[in-house]
Structure formats: structure tokens, C-alpha cells
Structure 1
Amino acid sequence: MIRFYILFGFAFMFMLIHWQGKLNKYINTKYSYLSISAIVILLLLSLIEVVRMYRLEQAEKNRALAAEHQHEHEGEHHEHSHEHNHEHEHVHDHTQVHEHNHEHNHGHSHGSSSKWKRAIGYLVLSFPIFTGIFLPVQTLDSSFVKAKGFSFPSMNSSISDRNPGQHQFLKPDSSVFYGEEGYEAVKNKELSEFRNLREISLDDQKYMKGMEVIYNFPGEFMGRTISFDGFAYKGEQVDGEHYFVFRFGFIHCAADSGVFGMLVDFPKGTQLHDDDWVHVTGVLTSELYQPFKQTIPVLKVSSWTAIPAPKDPYVYRVN
């Protein structure tokens, strides 16, 4: 029955996440069909487990009835042959009891070990169900950046050197999901979508793709007007009125999530705190950022406004 509780528990957890509208905290909602498929499969397996348990219970009842019937029949036979076989049965039963006790004790030690292993396995499987249902989902903020730090991948690093299962920083990088040749075609196709735009507004739908295009082809966009929303992060190595402006984003799921954005040069005297949300508009320039030992795109702000944190602070790679 424990198997049923675990299977149904996972299905219930996924259904609860959907019902509460929290799926976007775990995966790119573009792939929500995967979790729906998982719910259907888990419910089907739960039903199969119920049927299996019912059949086992019925089989056990049938065996018990058969054993009771056989016991009554053997009892009648035993009354006729008890005196004749008493001495022989006594010796035989004594030997059987000795052998039974030996087998029972030997099997008991192995059985206890197996029970402990199963119990630990069930606890491990139950843990994500408990946390998924009862613990609140933590929205990522600048504390994540402080804890992890961030780095900018070298322009010359090869795709094979990148790990699709690690958090990304600053520049969205979907190259690991295409391969060398495939990614070249994707880059050129996406460049064509932005190349002729004099003013580029990176809204929630375009944010991830647009940032990746700008970082892949910074020379194409120098002097262009770019605007986007994000939260401010000063960091320890940024001086003056420079702040990073970030959005947390998912390419596929939380495993390849990251904090994406760019260094922004605000007007003199601007004072922001970490996690302050702003809408910035400015002209794309570039600077040598010494901590990365690279020249990176920098947005020189022409106007900016403070904004409230959006209902969904995350952005997603939609295509």
C-alpha cells in the first residue's frame, strides 16, 4: 500500500503545483505538457497498484479458506491414525521444529535487512513529496547571486566545455542544446529577427532570446536603443553609478536556470539598492570589465523609472 501512497503523492503534488499556479517556479511553462503527462502516468500507476493490492488480498483470502478446509480434513484423518503414528510423529515433529527454527532465524536476519532498505527507500521517495506540498517556493533574488557569485563565459569557450545542468549568469546560453553546427544556424536565424530594429524592447517574451543575440553579436547592436526591466544588483566589484540589472530565467527548467541581464551605467548620483526593480532605456556601448578581463556590452542609460516587482519575476526561453 505504501507504493500507492508514494505514486499518488507525486501525482497530487504535481496537481497541486498546477492548481496553485506555481509550475513556472520549477520549469519553463512551454514544457508544462511534460508535467501533465507525468500526472496521468502516475495516476494510472496508482490505479494499477490498487488493482494489484486487491488481487493479492483476494488471493490471500482464498489461500486462508483453502488452508482451513484442508486443516479440518486432516484433523479428521489424524484422529484415526494418531495412536499408530504417535511415536514416529513425535520424533519427526521434533526434527521439523529444530529445522524450522533454524530457517526462521536465518531468514529473519535477511528479512530485517530488506525491510530497513525498503523503509529507507520509501523515506527518500517521500521527502520530495513532503517538501513539494508543505514547504513554500522561494522566489530567487539577489541573495542567490551573492551566494553563487557570477562569471561571464569566455567568448572563445567551446560548446563542449559547457554544462547544460549548471546555473548560468549574465548571458543566456542555449548552445549546449544544439551542438556546434546546429547552434550556428540558430544564432543567424535569431539575429535576423533583431538586426533591423533601431529600438529593441526586451519584454518578457523576447528577453531571453534578445539578450542572447546581443551577447552573441554585440557589434551589430552598438549605438542601438535598448530597454528592459530587471532588478538592480550592485555587487562588490562595481563602482560609481554602474549596476547590473538582472532577470532570473529558465531555458528548460530550474537545472539550467540563471540570472541574465547586463551592466548598466546610470546617470550620475543614482542610488539603488539590491532587488530594486527598474525599467531602463539607453544606448548600447561596451566597456572593459576588469573582473571578467573582457569587454562586455554596457547599457548607458538615457532614462529609467522605478517599478514594482512583476507578478512573475522570471522570464523563459519561449522559442
Structure 2
Amino acid sequence: MLRATFSFHYFLRSYILLGFTVLLTKLLITGDIQYYLAPRLHMLCYVTLGIMILLTIACLTQAITGAKANDCDCGGDHGLPRGVIRSTLFYGLFILPLAMGFLLPHKILGSELAQKKGVNLLAGNAKELIAKQSSLSPSKAGSQAPAQPDSTTSPAQSPALPQTMETPKQQSKKLRDAEIRNMFQSNNFGDYYTDIAMFMYKQPIINMDDKLFLDGLTILDLYPKEFEGHELETTGFVYRQPDFSGSEFVVARFTVSCCTADATVAGVLVDAKNAKAFATDSWVKVKGTLTMTSLNGSQFLMLKAEQITPVKAPKTPYVYLSGTGAGTANGP
């Protein structure tokens, strides 16, 4: 092969590799990488960036020095694409996504994709937990339930008090904590969700922020009756389905495990008199009271809005799955 032809192909490949290197660098510096990958994968992006820099240097070196050998005797065909059409098709597969990466805006996923994927109202990780729990035999489920102390034990039956006497207020708090734990622990969904349910139950107003969002939805789906009447505050984008009434919308968030290709949508159904004042895909902060409602024969909690405030989209618009539980929190 002519040296000029060889150099042309390898210079072109070097420019393509350099383009992807610059694009990845830009995404990492600006933080736009969050629109595509979960934070736990960002470190791998830096490793990839280092590899791409080395490949770019190696390819550019080959373009400058020329071919060292035409046959590596490995039985494979390593020939360069021949002809204008073949070369255009081959390199176009790399140039097109590279051009899209630079020219198209990086934007947050919204209602258009949510309508295609569907929205899980409150679901979080509850469906998997309920399915796992229902698969347990009664004897096995019963054997897993830890013995709970009787909260009505009389003073005569109670164990001896420690030397450091507790105040009545401290004793009352311990008693209340034991009662709350017993209320949530009876379903055997695990200590992780029991702790989060206790944390939420004791809050005067449940603040379901990014850290608590997914686990919070799971708790509300697992224990709807226990949280009916509680006040809740959360932030998300406005999503509507065609069959919603004029006073209904979902305050929703996209949840991402690895990348936006596996994104799903979860949220809380909101009922508000002024719901029409908030455009679809706009971001709002909603505060209200949780009430029971039914949809398609299923009962679940709905947020009866008392206050809705327009807000800007957060810097990190998605909530992420973690190795512990359903959401990003490692516990309250």
C-alpha cells in the first residue's frame, strides 16, 4: 500500500480519536457527563480518557512513521478500507456520533420519554420486595420475624434499670421508638427499610429529597396506611398522562442505574386545584398531605397539594440506584 494512502487513513483515525478524547474531556469538565452516566461510573470515564489519549498518540505515531510491516501472519485481514464509498461508510460510523456529541444540546430527559417508558407511582423497589415476601412460606416468614418486646409490660415484669437513671422523657422516646419499629418490622422487609420507615414516620414533614426519593417511594408503597395523613415535601418535574383529570399530575424523577438507556420514571401523584398553572416538564416543589386514592382498582397514596412552588431544575436532575436498597441513601 502506498505510504500516502496509509498515512491518510491513520491521520484520519487520529483525528477521530482526538475528537472523542476532546468530547469526553468536555463532558467531564462541564459536568454534562451526568446526563448520560451514573456517578459511580464517572471514575471509569477518567480511565477511558487516559486510554484514548494513548491510542491517539499511538495512531498519530503510525501516521507519521508509516507502515512497518504489511503482513503480521496472524491469519486475519487488517487491510484498510478501499474506495471512496467504503471509506465514507466506515469512517462515517464514527464521525456521525462524534458530530452529534458536539452539535446537539445536552438536555434532561422529560415527559416525552416518560410517556414511552411509563411511570411507576410510588413503586420504588416495593414490587420486588413484595414478590420476594409472598414467595416465602408462612413458616419461613414466621421464623424470620424477630421477637419483639411487649410494650405493655408492667413495671413489676420489666428488667432492672441501669445505674444511670433515665428521665421519663427518654423512657417515653425509647418506648415510642420500640412501638414504631414493631409496626414496620412485622412485615419482614428487612432492617434497612424498617430504619428508613422509622426515620420518615418521626418527621413532622417528610422531606423526600434526592437521597431519600427512591427509598421513600418504596416505603410509601409498602406502608400506605401507616403514612396516610402525614405531610410530605418533594421536588420533581411535572408529568401528565392523557387520562389524568385537570387537577392531577405526577411530580416525577428519572431513576438511573448505570446510564440513561436504563432510565425509568417514578413519582407521586399530586392533586391540586391550580394544577393547570404548571406546565408539563416544568420543575416544581410540592408540599401537601398524603391521602389514600384508587386508580385502576389499586389503592395507593396521593399527595393532596397545599403549596406548589416553581423551581429550577436541580444540578443533578436524576436519582440513582445504589447497591443498598432501592435508592441512593445508605440509610437515614
Q: Give TM-score scaled by structure 1 length.
A: 0.64
Counterpart of 2:215 in structure 1 is: 209
C-alpha contact 2:248 2:269 (8 A) present in aligned 1: yes
* Cα distance per residue 1:105-136 (max 9 Å; x no partner): xxxxx997687445422211221111111221
- Write the letter of the residue equivalent to 1:312: K
2:313 is paired with a residue whose SS is coil
- Write the letter of the residue equivalent to 1:12: V
Structure number with higher helix proportion: 1
C-alpha contact 1:203 1:229 (8 A) present in aligned 2: yes
The offset of 1:192, in angstroms, is 1.8
Larger radius of gyration: 1
C-alpha contact 1:203 1:228 (8 A) present in aligned 2: yes
Q: What is the percent sequence identity of the aligned residues?
A: 22
| Closer/same/farther in 2, CA of residues 9 and 172 from structure 1, 3 Å limit | farther
Give the Cα separation in 1 of the matches to 2:13 and 2:263: 32
* Cα distance per residue 1:211-255 (max 9 Å; x no partner): 234334445533332210123233221225222111233232101
Runs (5+) with no aligned partner, structure 2:
1-9, 70-78, 134-187, 321-327
* Cα distance per residue 1:267-306 (max 9 Å; x no partner): x45543323432222232332212xx432331223x2132
1:149-228 equivalences in 2 (<5 Å): 150-152=118-120, 171-173=123-125, 188-197=191-200, 198=203, 199-228=205-234
Give the Cα separation in 1 of the matches to 2:81 and 2:60: 26
* Cα distance per residue 1:74-130 (max 9 Å; x no partner): xxxxxxxxxxxxxxxxxxxxxxxxxxxxxxxxxxxx997687445422211221111
Equivalent of 1:249, from 244, 255, 271?
255
- Write the letter of the residue equivalent to 1:47: I
Runs (5+) with no aligned partner, structure 1:
61-109, 153-168
Counterpart of 2:24 in structure 1 is: 14
| Closer/same/farther in 2, CA of residues 188 and 121 from structure 1, 3 Å limit | farther
Counterpart of 1:304 in structure 2 is: 307
Give the Cα separation in 1 of the matches to 2:66 and 2:81: 22
1:53 aligns with 2:63: yes
1:137 aligns with 2:106: yes
Give the Cα separation in 2 of the matches to 1:207 and 1:115: 53
- Count of aligned pairs: 244
Counterpart of 1:76 in structure 2 is: none
C-alpha contact 1:16 1:133 (8 A) present in aligned 2: no
